[in-house]
Amino acid sequence: MAFLEVEDLKVHFPIKGGIFGRTVGHVKAVDGVSFSLEKGKTYGLVGESGSGKTTTGRAIIGLNKITSGKVMFDGRDITGMKSKSDVRKDIQMIFQDPYSSLNAKKRVIDIVAEPLRNFEKLSKKEERIRVQELMELVGLSPESILKYPHEFSGGQRQRIGIARAIALKPKLIIADEPVSALDVSVQAQVLNFMQDIQEELDLTYLFIGHDLGVIKHMCDNIGIMYKGRYVEEGTTEEIFTNPQHIYTKRLVAAIPDIDPKKRQEQTQFRQEVKAEYEQSYNDYFDDEGLAYQLQPVSDTHLVALPEKG
Amino acid sequence: MIDMWKFTLRRILIMIPQIILLSILIFILAKMMPGDALTGMIDPNVSPERLEELREKLGWNDPWHIQYADWVGGLVQGDFGQSFRFKMPVTELIGERIVNSFWLSVATLIFTYLIAIPLGILSGRYNDSLLDQTITGYTYLGFATPLFIFALVMLWVFGFMLGWFPTSGSVSPGSEPGTFAYVMSKINHLILPAIAMALIATVNTVQYLRSEIIDTKQKDFILTARAKGASESRVYNRHILRNSLLPIAAFFGYEITFLIGGTIFVETIYNYPGMGLLFFESITLRDYSVVTAVVLLFGVAAILGALLSDIILSLVDPRIRIK
Amino acid sequence: MEANKLNTNEELKTHKSPSGFSIIWRELVRDKLALISLIFLILITAFVYGVSFVLDQEEIVTVDLFSIHEPPSEEFWLGTDYGGRDIFGQLIIGTRNSLSIGILVTLMSGLIGIVFGLVAGYFGGHVDNVLMRILDFFQILPFLMIVIVFVAIVPKYSIWTFSLIMTAFLWMGIARLIRSKALQEKELDYVQASKTLGSSNIKIIFTQVLPNITSLIIVTMTLNLAGNIGLESGLSFLGFGFPESTPSLGTLLSYARNPQTLEYRWWIWVPASVLILLLMLAVRNVGEALKRATDARQRRG
């Protein structure tokens, strides 16, 4: 049994309308997503805005209501988990925006200690020591615990967010685009730091992102989402060297190459992929423009294709 | 347009429980008031047993929901009960007063817009000029001044000290209804209370109009119109005012709520025989059937006013329909 | 830039960053008009509360038939009313009573409005829908009349019942404001983060969202205070505030309902009018300055 197992997850949001505000339809943000994640690994969830990747992450941790499907964590069903269960301690989240995810009116010590206060009864002094340790762990000065978030840079703030997330020694961290709001120069720092603490604290990551470069750097397995469904899933190797779905191909082709000599070549390659994408769009997507059911290509590699025959 | 009808329909549907709740609340208030309709009507020599009998007969001992139904039934037929003080049906009593209050409200609204629109436009158009500062100073004071103090001072200065206006009543005694002098006297009695109320009521509108115009001035389409060489007055008349005045028209309905509060003060101070003074008198005299009727009428007027404004606003600004 | 420098200076001294309040305070002190208003308010409050310890309310409201309607003199600085009661003494006691009730009503209606608005905004959806319909209903009532009716039919009323009656119809404005702010706040990630960290909804509402709207609350409550002082004096003016034995500023004005007093005995009602006006202006000035201060902070932050 896998560490985290998501089975046929659906998250639908009602659309209200009419005179009495009845539900007239649904937005299918996540529409039948299944995947599993091994302990100590990093799983990347990739897609463009509106693909449902963030909603998937939020549904797992309980921020979005699950319409149907099942989430198993460490052998337990956590589909409708209550806010103060033990599982909550074990799953934490790192948010995309380091500005709005830290309460501007709170000092760092109150921000980082919030989970400790909810789950562990510590004395003021013990709490202070724990917070200072955490600050040190994320590479920030333990003296700055009385400062306000606005006195830190974006990268530092994201580290505070990480300190808060690891305060309860969780087993799984859902990282929702943790670096996309940061300067490129700081991104690598934070990512490497995340990898360091992964080893140190034996963490499992569900890494949500749209930047394939970052995903390639971080992840062992990758799932590609489009309009609430999976289009392809495989190891990082498989996705990047042998993409099967036309959508994945296009994403991979769009990764910028740093070598200026290859620029021309790459532009041409992109044109070709684009042409192929447009030509064979109907072979890969159904009438509504949604992806088909996943079909196995190999043991680890799955692609959404119409059923043969 | 379909959206528009949907909104209106939904808005009316919201209004129905509001009116029912209002009537229940007023019914409860009426029940809490000491004494009942009989207290004032009956000869004190009538024995308590006889009174009890009468109460039974009139249904005063029925369960409350039956009494409520009877009461509403009466209201629907225009039966508001008897005023024990004036010994006449409440409906008749109100009929006289409501006309006076109506004209006072109309005059107030006319003055309000007559003052607010030019002041708001001038203040917005020439913002940060001396003129604008004077107008802003007026709104600053107007915001802080309670209506009743202002009305008192106006009465003191223009009614008593200068003697320009009458200090009480709605018409000079002895004028013949229907004559020109009668109408003029009516108008003369209206002016001072109406201006007093308008000068306070207008403050919101002036400020709103000013900031609206200043905002619109910076908008791209205005800058474009200017860049294309449209004259300044054309820019104001064709573009800015059209955008800014519509919401003002929509606030008309909400003004009714202010007018209701205002009439109680202003009519009391100017001794003007309208609904506000009637309310004040009858609550002082404990003439509760009149009180109940006036509160109910004013409540319904406020609900209808808000409905009107909401609908006009939804026409002007479609965004509020999406709620 | 200047504020930044200040920050670092203070850090050196206390090793603790200034809280939001101290920044607002600094802005307030910089605003001349607001500062004067604030000093005026503090002085007048200290004066009326201080003096009313010495003054005997019983004595002031006792009818003295030998000195009816006296104009200002050395014995009676502001003359006397129709019962021979000293106007100046009534002015002091009246100011104290008006301020007390204004503050009481503002705090109570603020409390109800804040809780109501936070709950409606934070939970949203059906909770919000139901609560907002209730609020709409309250807001549409001809509240002045209903307050008057209540005052007239409640048999024995005190400062407390009177404030409760006013409060019952004055919490809607602040509730609506807080609700719309809470609707915005709850979408921010810090609230979502608190949920994932295991904080309960109640805890999030009061320890996470509330601190983020304190400036809005302070500004609104200050402005409401001005309105409530005016409203109370209006009700007392009509005779539906306090009884004559507990004078408020409105009680003194109510004597002007008698045309003779209005025309010939200005000393009874003019000082009270001026005082009400000054109080309302001063409170508003402070409120508006606070509003500007908090806005500026938002711009800078």
Q: Is C196 within 8 Å of A100 when comparing Cβ atoms?
A: no
Judging contacts by C-beta atoms under 8 Å, the chain C residues touching residue B279 are 145, 148
Q: Is C280 within 8 Å of B32 when comparing Cβ atoms?
A: no
Q: Is C136 within 8 Å of B14 when comparing Cβ atoms?
A: yes
Neighbour subunits, B (≥3 Cβ pairs < 8 A): A, C
Please write down the HEC assignment for all residues of B236-295. HHHHHHHHHHHHHHHCHHHHHHHHHHHHHHHHHHCCCCCHHHHHHHHHHCCCHHHHHHHH
The sign of the torsion formed by the CA atoms of B208, B214, B217, B219 equals negative
- The phi and psi torsions of B104 (rounded to 5 degrees) equal -60, -45
Distance between first and last Cα of chain C: 12
Contact (CB, 8 A) for C149 and C143: no
Instruction: Indicate whether A198 and A253 sit together in one domain.
Output: no
Distance of CA B291 to the CA centre of its chain: 17
How confident is the model at residue B40, as a pLDDT? 52
How confident is the model at residue C73, as a pLDDT? 65
In three-state secondary structure terms, B175 is coil
Beta bridge partners of A12: A28
Query: Pairing relation of β-strands A294-296 and A76-77?
Result: unpaired
Closest by CA position to A4, among listed A203, A291, A250: A203
Residue C225 domain flag: yes
Q: How many domains does chain A have?
A: 2
Q: How many domains does chain C have?
A: 1
Tokens of B48: 């308590």
Q: Does residue C145 carry a pLDDT above 70?
A: yes
Judging contacts by C-beta atoms under 8 Å, the chain A residues touching residue B13 are 19
Q: Does residue C4 carry a pLDDT above 90?
A: no
- Compute the distance between CA of residue C228 and CA of residue C222 in angstroms, rounded to an integer: 10
CATH number given to B2-46+93-321: 1.10.3720.10
Beta bridge partners of A295: A303
Contact (CB, 8 A) for B293 and B81: yes
Based on its alpha-carbon atoms, the radius of gyration of chain C, rounded to whole angstroms, reads 23
Instruction: Indicate whether A82 and A130 sit together in one domain.
Output: yes
* Interface residue B2 vs chain A (CB under 8 A): no
Please write down the HEC assignment for all residues of B45-80. CCCHHHHHHHHHHHCCCCCHHHHHHHHHHHHHCCCC
Phi-psi region of A62 (alpha: psi -120 to 50; beta: other; left: phi over 0): left
How confident is the model at residue C116, as a pLDDT? 95
Q: List the single best residue of B16, B148, B153, B289 to mutate versus C (max C Cβ within 10 A).
A: B148
CA distance to partner chain B, nearest, from residue A50 (Å)? 23
How confident is the model at residue B323, as a pLDDT? 41
Count Cα neighbours of C16 within 13 Å in the Cβ-side half-sphere: 8
C18 confidence band (pLDDT: 50, 70, 90) = low
* Interface residue A16 vs chain B (CB under 8 A): no
**CATH (domain of C272):** 1.10.3720.10
**CATH (domain of A206):** 3.40.50.300
How confident is the model at residue A45, as a pLDDT? 93
Average of pLDDT values for C26-55? Answer: 84
Instruction: Indicate whether A35 and A176 sit together in one domain.
Output: yes
Which has more pLDDT, B217 or A145?
A145
Strand order in the sheet with A204-209: A91-94, A172-176, A204-209, A42-46, A221-226, A229-235, A302-304, A294-296
Q: What is the pLDDT along chain A (309 residues), one digit of tens a residue?
A: 688 989 899 998 888 766 566 777 788 889 888 998 999 899 999 988 888 899 999 998 888 888 888 888 888 888 876 655 677 788 999 998 888 899 988 899 999 999 999 888 889 999 999 999 999 988 898 888 898 898 898 889 999 999 999 998 899 999 998 888 888 888 888 898 899 999 988 999 999 998 888 898 899 999 999 988 999 999 998 888 888 888 888 888 887 777 777 778 888 888 888 888 888 877 788 878 788 888 888 888 888 887 764
> Within the 16-75 window of chain C, which residues sit less than 8 Å (CB to CB) from chain A?
16-17, 20
Q: Is B149 within 8 Å of C276 when comparing Cβ atoms?
A: yes
> Within the 237-276 window of chain C, which residues sit less than 8 Å (CB to CB) from chain B?
237-240, 253, 256-257, 259, 262-263, 266, 269, 273, 276
* Interface residue C199 vs chain A (CB under 8 A): yes
How confident is the model at residue C108, as a pLDDT? 95
Range of the domain at C195: 104-280
Please write down the HEC assignment for all residues of A96-110. CCCCCCCCCCCCHHH
How confident is the model at residue A157, as a pLDDT? 92
How confident is the model at residue C177, as a pLDDT? 92
Q: Is A18 within 8 Å of B6 when comparing Cβ atoms?
A: yes
Using CA atoms, how far residue C172 sits from A144, B156, C111, C116, C135, in Å, is: 41, 35, 11, 9, 6
- Compute the distance between CA of residue B46 and CA of residue C237 in angstroms, rounded to an integer: 39
Judging contacts by C-beta atoms under 8 Å, the chain C residues touching residue A55 are none
Residue C2 domain flag: no
Q: Is A83 within 8 Å of C214 when comparing Cβ atoms?
A: no
Distance between first and last Cα of chain A: 33
Q: Is C196 within 8 Å of A93 when comparing Cβ atoms?
A: yes
A242, A257, A285 - which closes a domain: A242
Closest by CA position to A153, among listed A139, A166, A164, A132: A139
How confident is the model at residue B59, as a pLDDT? 63
Distance between first and last Cα of chain B: 16
Q: Does residue B55 carry a pLDDT above 80?
A: no
This prediction's pTM: 0.82
How confident is the model at residue C72, as a pLDDT? 67
How confident is the model at residue C178, as a pLDDT? 93
A242, A258, A288 - which closes a domain: A242
C7 confidence band (pLDDT: 50, 70, 90) = very low
Instruction: Quickly list DSSP for A29-48.
Output: EEEEEEEEE-TT-EEEEE--
- Measure CB to CB from residue B144 to each of C144, C153, C280 and give the nearest one: C280
A190, A216, A242 - which closes a domain: A242
Q: Does residue C16 carry a pLDDT above 60?
A: no
Q: Is C234 within 8 Å of B147 when comparing Cβ atoms?
A: yes
Residue carrying the six token digits 């209370």: B193
B45 confidence band (pLDDT: 50, 70, 90) = low
Average of pLDDT values for B126-138? Answer: 88
Please write down the HEC assignment for all residues of chain C. CHHHHHHHHHHHHHCCCCCHHHHHHHHHHHCHHHHHHHHHHHHHHHHHHHHHHHCCHHHHCCCCHHHCCCCCCCCCCCCECCCCCEHHHHHHHHHHHHHHHHHHHHHHHHHHHHHHHHHHHHHCHHHHHHHHHHHHHHHHCCHHHHHHHHHHHCCCCCHHHHHHHHHHCCCHHHHHHHHHHHHHHCCCHHHHHHHHCCCCHHHHHHHHHHHHCHHHHHHHHHHHHHHHHHHHHHHHHHCCCCCCCCCCHHHHHHHHHCHHHHHHCHHHHHHHHHHHHHHHHHHHHHHHHHHHHHHHHHHHC
- Compute the distance between CA of residue C43 and CA of residue C54 in angstroms, rounded to an integer: 17
Instruction: Indicate whether A31 and A59 sit together in one domain.
Output: yes
Instruction: Indicate whether A11 and A142 sit together in one domain.
Output: yes
Q: Is C145 within 8 Å of B146 when comparing Cβ atoms?
A: no
Q: Does residue C10 carry a pLDDT above 60?
A: no
How confident is the model at residue B35, as a pLDDT? 61
Judging contacts by C-beta atoms under 8 Å, the chain C residues touching residue B143 are 284
Tokens of A162: 């990480």
* DSSP summary character for residue A66: -
How confident is the model at residue C283, as a pLDDT? 92
- Compute the distance between CA of residue C195 and CA of residue A83 in angstroms, rounded to an integer: 7
Tokens of A45: 């969830």
Q: Does residue B226 carry a pLDDT above 50?
A: yes
Average of pLDDT values for C119-140? Answer: 89
For chain C, the residue count is 301
Range of the domain at A79: 4-242
For chain A, the residue count is 309
Q: Please state the ipTM of this predicted complex.
A: 0.84
Q: pLDDT by residue (tens digit) across B147-176?
A: 999 999 888 888 888 888 887 777 777 777
Chain C residue at shortest CA distance from B143? C281
How confident is the model at residue C3, as a pLDDT? 42
Q: List the single best residue of B149, B255, B275, B291 to mutate versus C (max C Cβ within 10 A).
A: B149
- Measure CB to CB from residue C273 to each of B21, B149, B295 and give the nearest one: B149
Closest by CA position to A289, among listed A237, A241, A251, A247: A247
Q: pLDDT by residue (tens digit) across B263-287?
A: 899 999 988 888 999 998 888 887 8
- Compute the distance between CA of residue A292 and CA of residue B151 in angstroms, rounded to an integer: 76
Instruction: Indicate whether A159 and A294 sit together in one domain.
Output: no
Q: pLDDT by residue (tens digit) across C168-196?
A: 989 999 999 999 999 989 888 999 999 88
Chain A residue at shortest CA distance from C14? A146
How confident is the model at residue C63, as a pLDDT? 65
Q: What percent of chain C has pLDDT over 70?
A: 79
Which has more pLDDT, C274 or A289?
C274
Q: Does residue C298 carry a pLDDT above 50?
A: no
Q: Is C145 within 8 Å of B294 when comparing Cβ atoms?
A: yes
* DSSP summary character for residue B127: T
How confident is the model at residue A266, as a pLDDT? 80
